[in-house]
Chains A and B, each alone.
Chain A
Amino acid sequence: MTADLSEKLGREMTGDPARATDEQPETSTDTLPPPAKLPLRYRNRFVEFFYRLFTERPLGAVGAIICVLLLLTGIFADFIAPHGYNAISPLDRLKPPSAEHWFGTDHLGRDVFSRVVYGAQLSVIVAFAATTLSIIISVIIGLFSGYLGGRTDMTTQRVVDGWMCFPDLIILIVAVSVLGPGTWQVILILGLLFGISGSRIVRGAVLTAKENVYVHAARSIGASTGWILWRHILPNVMPPIIVLYTTRLAAVILAESGLSFLGLGIPPPAPSWGGMLSIDGRSYMFLAPWLAIMPGLALAIAVFGINMFGDALRDILDPRMRGGTGRYIARVRKPGGQTT
């Protein structure tokens, strides 16, 4: 029975041209058109990911390139920057962009290009550290609060409510005045701030995910709570977490700039983009607009790139969207009856 059944089922599968490409050759050769250009099934996942990023999400690919450039700039800042970020040259004050100083110089004669490059380093460090910290906090709070429910959930959520009652800026100012300005202080504060508010998003996703029959099924198989959280809940709440990560990444860069702009972030002369916008950019805005434009542009491009990449990442990592977002989405029904 099983033999002819599988044959029957094999034929059933070939009725769908988008799925037929990876079908057993003996059933797909006779009537079907030649396979469409789809990534090979057993191709390396990593290769497949980039293949799909570039073919299906070109804007995401641009974002990815920007992210990579940002990272490389941060890592190799010492080699890229032609001058030290703090090398003062009083004779070259407020020079417009030129061959020697690509982005011009500031009021102390420091090379703006070098400072923007070093600023990337600082932004990368702060952004990734603070965002990672915040996501870890969000996921831990969200998973346990959402999955365990009941009293745990009730208590946790009231604490989160209380925390979210305070305006972010007030918390930041208080925390900075207690801890003092500095890089790790900014990381800690931003991580905590974004982590706690982000836990709501994770919890919401967990609440939906845990009601799925497959979670019930895993329990009936004999899975422990930890197993279910790790193998079923976490993977299924990844899309919102990835989006959260990328939007937070951009938001942290902005927040750090904002803090530095207010003088609460990373103290000068460290080359923070926000600090450059504030101290130098604002004072000399009309005299030397490049002082504000260059770090501002760097900030905008970085945030744009991260957001685009994050969007593409979420779409590609979702296995239900395999084979292209536009191509077979109409035919794929998500469990629970929603259609994508």
Chain B
Amino acid sequence: MSTNHNDVLLDVQDLKVHFKLHGGLFGQKQTGTVKAVDGVSFQVRRGETLGLVGESGCGKSTTGLGVLRMVEPTAGKVTLDGIDITALNSAALRKARRRMQMVYQDPFGALDPRMRVLDIIGEPLLIHKMFKDKKDYKAQVHDLLERVGLNPNMADRYPHQFSGGQRQRIGIARALAARPELIICDEPVSALDVSIQAQVINLLEDIQEEFGLTYLFIAHDLAVVRHICDRIMVMYLGHVVEVTDRDALYENPQHPYTQALMSAIPIPDPEEEAKRGFDRSLQGEVPSPLNPPSGCPFHPRCRFAHDACKTQKPRLMETDTGHQVACHLYDPAASDINAGDVMEDNLVRAG
């Protein structure tokens, strides 16, 4: 990838988050390992929005948590603006967390019901001592409330007095309070009504422009992702299967899994829907991450799976500029079937 190292804000190298399962009377026996995230590498450039999509349980949220070290990564390296997050001790980590904030999915649970909005939004300021005096503190919170489209008079209220969309705005204001560079949005709109979703998405875009923020945007709603993201990373069972620019992904999905995802987007026109040709939707369930398939994790559900897929793990390799795919079909060294097959399918779909 032709990335200038100076504008890479977040660099994740071979991140692994494994959860060990314990059994036995005192939990002394290790009975298995859930490889929630298994060797994920990506970069987020300053000012861009990287979308992270995949079905439930593919490890996209865990990746976000691993980056913040809210879940301790098993292996790998996370670098934020040159600082190795994975090497920090707990005090330094708390300080570093100021620079990367999180917006949560559940606007009802993410705010402490016993705190006033003033204290909720001001909490990062208090923790990181980012204000001069009480007046300055209040002024900063009022300013933040205004930025997210809420009335500053509401600062004395409690969270239960707000609607879901308003609470999500409060959550965003809190994330902004610490003046972070990176915000990890963990499905920030999926718990909201569609009409409110649009407002919150627009708000996220506005503040990104205003504060020069970088987003790691975790979602499963492909329409939302297409709207807000610059680049998109598709995950499957703890692995990255495809990374590319937004338009390239939607117009030319290369990995069979991505193609299946794209075909799952409903077209609001039955005739168009019929013209789409054959059904690419996936069969079967996501395999258990406790006992992942050998080789390519996608091979049991892949229409193009061949022998190599069952034994060798595909590597993430560039097919076009800035378009990386982890699939043997595109790997000249490993493939014994023609990538043209898949290309043909794309043509069918496009035509």
B-binding residues in A (CB < 8 A): 1-2, 5-6, 9-10, 12, 19, 24, 41-42, 212-214, 216-224, 227, 231-232, 235-236, 238, 319-320, 322, 332-336
* Contact string against A for B residues 83-118, beta-carbon threshold 8 Å, 1 for contact and 0 otherwise: 000000000011111100110101011111111000
Q: How far is the CA of A10 from the CA of B127 in the complex (A)?
A: 31
Contact A217 B94 (CB under 8 A): no
Contact B101 A213 (CB under 8 A): no
Segment from B149-157, B289-297, B320-328 that makes contact with A: B149-157
Q: How far is the CA of A41 from the CA of B161 in the complex (A)?
A: 13
B73 within 8 A of A: no
Given A220-B70, A333-B160, the answer on whether A214 and B94 have CB atoms closer than 8 Å is: no
Residue of chain B at shortest CB distance from A216 = B70
Q: How far is the CA of A334 from the CA of B161 in the complex (A)?
A: 11
Contacts of A219 in B (CB 8 A): 70
Contact A227 B127 (CB under 8 A): yes
B315 within 8 A of A: no
Contact B108 A333 (CB under 8 A): yes
Q: Which of B114, B171, B199 contacts A5 (CB 8 A)?
A: B199
**Minimum Cβ distance to chain B for residue A222 (Å):** 4
Q: Which of A2, A41, A221 contacts B97 (CB 8 A)?
A: A221
Residue of chain B at shortest CB distance from A320 = B160
**Minimum Cβ distance to chain B for residue A205 (Å):** 13
Among residues 191 to 234 in chain B, which have CB atoms less than 8 Å away from a CB atom of chain A?
A: 199, 202, 206
**Minimum Cβ distance to chain B for residue A298 (Å):** 37
**Minimum Cβ distance to chain B for residue A39 (Å):** 13
Q: How far is the CA of A219 from the CA of B114 in the complex (A)?
A: 17
Q: How far is the CA of A224 from the CA of B89 in the complex (A)?
A: 13
- 10 pairs across A/B with beta carbons < 8 Å? A1-B202, A2-B146, A217-B110, A221-B97, A221-B98, A221-B101, A221-B127, A221-B174, A319-B114, A334-B160
Contacts of B206 in A (CB 8 A): 1
Residue of chain A at shortest CB distance from B163 = A12
Given A6-B151, A221-B174, the answer on whether A235 and B146 have CB atoms closer than 8 Å is: no
B178 within 8 A of A: yes
User: What are the 8 tightest A-B residue pairs by CB atom distance, in nearest-first order?
Assistant: A213-B109, A5-B149, A222-B97, A222-B94, A214-B112, A235-B114, A213-B110, A220-B102
Q: How far is the CA of A236 from the CA of B115 in the complex (A)?
A: 10
Contacts of A332 in B (CB 8 A): 160
**Minimum Cβ distance to chain A for residue B288 (Å):** 24
Q: How far is the CA of A223 from the CA of B123 in the complex (A)?
A: 9
B80 within 8 A of A: no
Residue of chain A at shortest CB distance from B206 = A1
Contacts of A6 in B (CB 8 A): 146, 149-151
Contact B109 A10 (CB under 8 A): no
Residue of chain B at shortest CB distance from A332 = B160
Contacts of A227 in B (CB 8 A): 127
Number of interface residues of B (CB under 8 A): 44
Residue of chain A at shortest CB distance from B123 = A221
Q: How far is the CA of A213 from the CA of B102 in the complex (A)?
A: 11
Residue of chain A at shortest CB distance from B164 = A333
Contact A222 B124 (CB under 8 A): yes
Contact A9 B113 (CB under 8 A): no
Contacts of A214 in B (CB 8 A): 109-112
**Known contacts A217-B104, A219-B70, A221-B98; 17 further A-B pairs (Cβ under 8 A):** A5-B199, A9-B150, A9-B166, A19-B161, A212-B109, A214-B112, A216-B104, A220-B70, A221-B174, A222-B93, A222-B98, A223-B123, A231-B123, A235-B112, A319-B160, A332-B160, A335-B108
B158 within 8 A of A: yes
Q: Which of A19, A224, A231, A335 contacts B113 (CB 8 A)?
A: A335
**Minimum Cβ distance to chain A for residue B207 (Å):** 10
Contacts of B115 in A (CB 8 A): 231, 235
Contacts of B148 in A (CB 8 A): 2
**Minimum Cβ distance to chain A for residue B105 (Å):** 8
Contacts of B46 in A (CB 8 A): none
**Minimum Cβ distance to chain A for residue B74 (Å):** 18
Contact B158 A320 (CB under 8 A): yes
Q: How far is the CA of A219 from the CA of B100 in the complex (A)?
A: 12
Contact B112 A236 (CB under 8 A): yes
Q: Which of B97, B104, B202 contacts A213 (CB 8 A)?
A: B104
* Contact string against A for B residues 157-184, beta-carbon threshold 8 Å, 1 for contact and 0 otherwise: 0111101001000010010001000000
B29 within 8 A of A: no
Contact A322 B158 (CB under 8 A): yes
B310 within 8 A of A: no
B240 within 8 A of A: no
Q: How far is the CA of A283 from the CA of B316 in the complex (A)?
A: 92
**Minimum Cβ distance to chain B for residue A83 (Å):** 49
Residue of chain B at shortest CB distance from A19 = B161
